[in-house]
Chains A and B, each alone.
Chain A
C-alpha cells in the first residue's frame, strides 16, 4: 500500500469506535462465574490484608476477645447478614477454585463438562453457605 493511502487509512482508523462487549454479550455461566471468582478473590484478599494490617497497627482493638465482644452485641439480623456476606464469597471462591484446578489437570474440558461442573459448584456453594450461616 502506498504511503498516501496508508496515511488516509490510519487517519480513518483513529476515528473508529470499538464495538460493545460485556454490555451486550449474553450472560452465561462461563463468564459470569469467572468474573465472580475474580471479584470474590479480590474481596477476600482485601479482607485478609486489611485485617492483617489492622491487627498489626492496633493489636488490642482487633484481637479475638474484643471482636467477639463487639459482634455479640449486634442484633441477630445483622449477625446473620454478616455471616452470609462472609460465607458466600468464601464458599464460591474455594469451590470454583477446585473447578479451576480440575481444568488445569485437563478435566471437564468440554462445553457440557464446563456447565455440569459449574452448576455443581453453584449448588455446593448454596449448600455450604446455608450450612455456614445457620450451623456454624
Chain B
C-alpha cells in the first residue's frame, strides 16, 4: 500500500530503527564547562592541637562545578577536599543566622554572599574578636547571655482579657526591628564591642532592647530603660556605624 501514498508526504524514514539517527538533531549534546579555579584562603585552628597558631589554609576549587554562594564553596571543600573544615550552617537561605562569618573583610552570611568570580583569592575568617571553638565556629555564649539580659519578652502587668490590641501605626513601629535573626554580624563588626565585649551590649542586643521599649503592648519601658542607665551597657556606643 505504500506506493499509493503521494510522494509529497514527508516521511521520516523507512526503517523502524531510525530513531537514533533522526533524533540526533533534537538531542542537545552537553557542552563541557571550562574549569574556573578560584582560591579560598580559610582561617583554621584545631582545638586538638591548641599550641599550633591559627593560620590561613588555601583551597582551590572549580567554580563551574559549585553553587553560586560562599556556603556552597565551603560545603564543596568539606565534601571533596578537606572534611575537617568546620563551620556552622543550617537553612542555606539567610534566615537562621548560623553561617555568619567574615568574608573578604565584611561580616555577612555565607549562604547569601555570592562568590566573586573574578580571579583573586577570597579570604574567609570567623566573626572578628570572638573566641574560636574550631576553624570558623565562634563561641557565642556571651552574645546570647547579653540578649537574655534585656528580657526579650512581652511584659505587661495588666494583660487584657483576650488579645493585646495594637493599631497598625503601632505595629509599623516594629518593622525593621523584629526581623533580627541574631546572627551577630553587626555586633562583631563594632570596634566598641571588640574592646568592651564583656560589658557593652552591642548593636544587636541594643536594637532588640529598643524593639521591646517601642512595642506598644509592653508596659515595662521605664524599667527597661533604667537597666541601660550605666556607663557601659549602652553608652559605649560611639556611633562608629561600621
A24-B123, A24-B125 given as contacts; is B132 within 8 A of A19 (CB)? yes
- Let me know if B221 is at the binding interface, CB within 8 A: no
Is there contact, CB below 8 Å, between B128 and A25? yes
- Give bound CA distance, A115 to B150, whole Å: 31
Number of B interface residues at 8 Å Cβ cutoff, please give it.
30
Chain B interface helix/strand/loop/mixed: loop
Is there contact, CB below 8 Å, between B128 and A30? no
- Let me know if A22 is at the binding interface, CB within 8 A: yes
Is there contact, CB below 8 Å, between A103 and B242? no
Q: Range of interface residues on chain A? A: 20 to 34
How far apart are B159's CB and chain A's nearest CB, in angstroms?
A: 33
Of B43, B53, B102, B139, which contacts A25 at CB under 8 A?
A: B102
Residues of B within 8 A of A31 (CB): 191, 240, 242
Is there contact, CB below 8 Å, between B240 and A20? no
- Give bound CA distance, A24 to B101, whole Å: 12
Residues of A within 8 A of B132 (CB): 16-19
How far apart are A59's CB and chain B's nearest CB, in angstroms?
A: 37
**Which A-B residue pairs are the 10 nearest by beta carbons?**
A26-B105, A21-B128, A15-B50, A21-B129, A16-B131, A34-B240, A19-B126, A31-B242, A30-B241, A103-B239
Chain A residues in contact with chain B, CB under 8 A? 12-13, 15-22, 24-28, 30-31, 34-35, 100, 103-104, 111, 114
